[in-house]
Amino acid sequence: MHHRNAPLTVVGRQRAVAQVVDVGRPIAHVAAEFRIARTTLSKWVGRFREHGEAGLEDHSSAPANRPTRLPI
């Protein structure tokens, strides 16, 4: 199951990133074909280049840091 806010599943992200990395297609063209934002695809390509396949797994959409949160 994919993250409920995710525009594509992990497999869909892998396919989109492969079009950019392996085939060499422009990010703008691939993003339009997959109906996602160019910035989103750029982020996925960057994560793939840095972390490999693991970078395309679902991530939490919650902020990593909550500076105004009260201590428990």
Q: Which residues neighbour 12 within 8 Å (Cβ) at sequence distance 6 or greater?
A: 34
Question: For the chain, what are the domain ranges?
Answer: 10-56
- In the predicted model, is pLDDT for residue 2 greater than 60? no
Pairwise CA distance, residues 70 & 16, whole Å:
40
- Considering the entire predicted model, what is its pTM? 0.76
Q: Copy the structure tokens of residue 39.
A: 């910035």
Per-residue model confidence as pLDDT tens digits over 3-55: 565 668 888 999 999 999 999 999 999 999 999 999 999 999 999 999 999 99
